[in-house]
Chain A
Amino acid sequence: MEYLVAQPFIAALLALVTLALAFGALLGFASVAFETEGNPIAEQINAIMPQTQCGQCGYPGCRPYAEAIAQGEAINKCPPGGETVIKQLADLLDVEPMPLDAEHGQEKPKSYAYIREDECIGCTKCIQACPVDAIVGAAKHMHTVVISECTGCDLCVEPCPVDCIDLLPFPATLQTWSWELPSPPQNLIASDRERAA
């Protein structure tokens, strides 16, 4: 101790190295002891995603897109989620909300696939296309859609050889019904009306 006080240069070196070693050991220990699996941000983003697994964003599903967003991908590529999801993502990631990227599709009202069963030939092509396994049926037997599982992603419409699948909007219920905004009245002010005429 007295030797160290007498040799300030060695003492300084020793003190800093000791500190750095101790802190390095602490952090090294912490990184092993408190290791976390997965990316928590990607998990949260994935929770916001509509889970349609439709692939309209260009990624093979909602989770891959969520991971891409966590890496800095744009947040406006999810048509099924639409404005609601973009707004939630913007809040979570603290970025400015932006309009939906039209390249990836338009926002549509929530809908479900409906198979006109007497026209179905039982080709199973829609079953293979469905990302959420919402279509039941077997080869050469009529298929049908489990509505509670259907995400309305419209991936089954394209492969159907007899075009017997329709996308129907959910009928309005008391919970989902909303009053349409009134269109703004034209030329409310009398002088404007005169000028227009």
Chain B
Amino acid sequence: MIIDYTFLLVGAILVNNFVLVQFLGLCPFMGVSNKLETAMGMSFATTFVLTLASVCSYLVFTYLLQPLGLGYLRTIAFILVIAVVVQFTEMVVRKSSPLLYRLLGVYLPLITTNCAVLGVALLNINKQHSFVESALYGFGAAVGFSLVLVLFSAMRERLAVADVPEPFKGSAIGMITAGLMSLAFMGFAGLV
């Protein structure tokens, strides 16, 4: 049981990393990785929302869509769920913890359109995960996203001061770096 869960987590974090192996959530990966600090904020926010959203969308699918035979409505229903979870989280955090809101505030609305969040929710259904598995898979995906985002932003901070040839400056060298990271993560294939 615990072994299964561990495999699920490691698989979501490293082997089937959402950014570098499944190529989901590339937009925030390139967009918010210029500074290590903002990358951390984005990571925390995404981890929080992804776990919550995968749990909520599992509940909506199992207890509302499936009994009515409406599985084909899952995409639109999940988009609704994610948007609400993000909005609700923002309101609660803003009231209860101004400090956390300062850390996460600006990133929360960005997550609504992060395709990794929708991707995890849909994959949970496709792989027929149970409730606990859904939560773990969502959490693992988020941790994997955070890991890669923080690593990448640390590298980009160094690249910003490095002597990069003129044509490769800016996003171009970022793309090349991301590609190399993706190649490196291929090394985890077959681990689980």
What is A's interface to B at a CB cutoff of 8 Å?
1, 4-5, 8, 11-12, 15-16, 18-20, 23, 26-27, 30-31, 33-36, 40-41, 44, 91, 94
Contacts and interface: CB of A to CB of B under 8 A. Distances in A.
Contacts, number: 64
Contacts of B94: 34, 36, 40
A19 B70 contact: no
B77 A16 contact: yes
A94 B84 CA distance: 26
A20 B105 CA distance: 25
Interface in B88-140: 88, 91-92, 94-96, 98, 101-102, 105-106
A27 B38 CA distance: 27
Interface of A, helix, strand, loop or mixed by DSSP: helix
Interface residues of B, number: 28
Contact of A19 (B80, B95, B101, B106): B80
Contacts of B35: 94
B60 interface: yes
B88 A30 contact: yes
Contact of A11 (B38, B69, B84, B98): B69
6 contacts: A5-B68, A11-B69, A19-B77, A23-B81, A26-B88, A27-B84
Nearest to B102: A44
Contacts of B73: 12, 15-16
B183 interface: no
A27 B88 contact: yes
Nearest to B84: A23
A31 to B, nearest CB: 6
B84 A15 contact: no
Interface of B: 35, 37-38, 60, 64-65, 67-70, 73, 76-77, 80-81, 84, 87-88, 91-92, 94-96, 98, 101-102, 105-106
B87 A27 contact: yes
A23 B65 contact: no
A12 B69 CA distance: 9
B70 A34 contact: no
B80 A23 contact: yes
B64 A15 contact: yes
Contacts of A11: 68-70
Contacts of A35: 95
A31 B91 contact: yes
A30 B105 CA distance: 17
A34 B80 CA distance: 21
Contacts of B77: 15-16, 19
A52 to B, nearest CB: 25
B170 to A, nearest CB: 14
Given A1-B67, A27-B84, A19 B60 contact: yes
A40 B69 contact: no
A5 B92 contact: no
B65 A15 contact: yes
Given A16-B73, A16-B76, A19-B77, A36 B67 contact: no
Contact of B69 (A8, A19, A31, A41): A8
A114 to B, nearest CB: 39
A34 B98 CA distance: 12
Name the 4 nearest CB pairs between A and B, nearest first: A34-B95, A23-B84, A34-B91, A11-B68
A82 B183 CA distance: 46
A4 B35 CA distance: 52
A41 to B, nearest CB: 8
Contact of A40 (B67, B80, B102): B102
Contacts of A16: 73, 76-77, 80
